[in-house]
Amino acid sequence: MKNNLYISYPYNHLNYKRYYPNYRPHLQRYSNPLNIQTKNINFENEYIIERLRIPILKGIKDKNIQDNINNSISSDILEFKNQMEVAAKEEYEKAKEEGRPFDPIIISNIYELTYNKNNIISLSIVYHEYINGNDSYIRTTYNYNIKTGRSLSLNDLFKEGVDYISLINNVIRRYLLANPTRYFPETIEEFKGIAPDQPFFLENGYIGLFFGFHEVAPTEAKLPIIKIPLSEFRGYLKPYLLA
């Protein structure tokens, strides 16, 4: 079986090239025998346009683990879909009562499997909302041990007893100081450190930490992501991440 990664195409209305200039649907090879299929949701009515992609993982040996991971991802995407439908309908009906024109809300997503080796996977989903001419983005990730089915936190990447929060914070502060033009002027002074459950993803050779839309950087900087080479934490990480 080929070890493939498939990434869905974004809805062509969205200006992904502006926010994700390096984004290309592509195929990569990894060590876990895993494939991803895509379930497409294409729907529109008078108040919402939906272009959603649900990744479906195939090839995990334990089918219960595979189903649990797929159900978790699918449930989150469908919850986003349902919440946006309710909000869009409310706004549409309000505009109709007030005699105002209403442009349908547009929602979409893209996904990417950024890490897939040594029984560990990291899959990111970026949600896009286009409302009243304004773009907003939400990124979420799923980090799993596909042998045990366990969802991984940052703490799980480090050896027992390591103060991983301080280690990561020190690297981030150094990064912010070295790249001041990429972030809001007050970011360096106001950065309080990451949370124990800080959202992250793995990419071959890196840990990627991401923050909320417009949280630490302007829109032009996309969803702010700080990618730290795993080599920064050599001696502190669990060995499989450096293999």
Q: What are phi and psi of 42, to 5 degrees?
A: -120, 110
- Based on the number of CB atoms within 10 Å of its own CB, is 185 exposed (0-12), middle (13-18) or buried (19 or more)? exposed
User: Which positions ≥6 away from 29 have C-beta within 8 Å?
Assistant: 2, 3, 4, 5
Of 181, 114, 173, 174, the C-alpha closest to 144 is 114
Q: What is the pLDDT of residues 134-145, one digit of tens each?
A: 888 888 999 999
Q: What are phi and psi of 44, to 5 degrees?
A: -155, 150
Question: Taking the model in full, what pTM does it have?
Answer: 0.81
Q: What are phi and psi of 173, to 5 degrees?
A: -60, -40
Grade residue 217 by pLDDT with cuts at 50, 70 and 90: low
Average pLDDT over every residue of 222-241: 86
Alpha helix stretches (DSSP H) within 46-197: 63-98, 164-178, 187-190
Q: What is the pLDDT of residues 142-188, one digit of tens each?
A: 999 999 999 999 999 999 999 999 999 989 888 877 777 776 666 66
Structural domains of the chain, ranges and CATH numbers in brackets? 1-152 (3.30.565.40), 153-243 (3.90.640.20)
Q: Above 50 in pLDDT, residue 7?
A: no
- Percentage of residues in the chain with pLDDT exceeding 90? 59
